[in-house]
Structure 1
């Protein structure tokens, strides 16, 4: 009778290991979905705010261009001056893009994804 008891115990242990593996995989999937949803929702809200800021900036620039042009006597002078201003800004941003843009955005995405992992380690 003892060999049957051992076989039953092995089957129970196999079932428990199988259930544990399935549960662990499901937990990993859920954590991945949660992290992805968090990153996507943050990105979507930032894009929406960015679009509103872009429209504000566009109309502000048109207004400034017209005003500067009126003060200088020709409207197109204002547009040329604003274009020159943005060329200078683009050169500055291009020279410092890693420090000002790439590194902070990369750090934000990584910290957002790893936020769940950090809280798991502390509990």
Structure 2
């Protein structure tokens, strides 16, 4: 009788291990879906906000360019001045892109990943 008892206990242990593995895999799938959904939702909202900000910036720049041009006597002067302003902005961003763009985005991604693994 003892060999049967051991075999039944082994089968029971095997079934428990199999159920644990299936449950762990299902939990991993659900966590992955949750993370992907959170990331896609966040990205979609940021894209929508970016589009609105881009239109606002576009129309604001056109208005400022026309106003500067009117004050200087020729409308195209205002557009040249605004273009020069943005050229200076591009030079500043290119010179310091690592500090003002790359590092903060990398830190945000890392903190997001570490926050997800803590839960």
TM-score, with structure 1 as normaliser = 0.89
| Alignment partner, residue 115 of structure 1 | 115
| Alignment partner, residue 80 of structure 1 | 80
Stretches of structure 1 lacking an aligned partner (at least 5 in a row): none
Q: Does 1:31 align with 2:10?
A: no
TM-score, with structure 2 as normaliser = 0.92
Superposed displacement of residue 84, structure 1: 0.6
**Structure 1 segments of 4 or more deviating over 4 A?**
none
| Count of residue correspondences | 119
Superposed displacement of residue 3, structure 1: 1.2
Moved more, 93-102 or 79-88: 93-102
Deviations 1:15-71 (A, max 9, x none): 100110111111111112112211221121111111111100000000111111111
Q: Does 1:47 align with 2:47?
A: yes
| Alignment partner, residue 4 of structure 2 | 4
SS at match of 2:16: helix
Stretches of structure 2 lacking an aligned partner (at least 5 in a row): none
| Alignment partner, residue 90 of structure 1 | 90
Once superposed, what is the RMSD of the aligned Cα atoms?
1.2
| Alignment partner, residue 71 of structure 1 | 71
| Alignment partner, residue 19 of structure 2 | 19
Does the 8 Å CA contact 1:69/1:79 hold for their aligned counterparts?
A: yes
| Alignment partner, residue 99 of structure 1 | 99
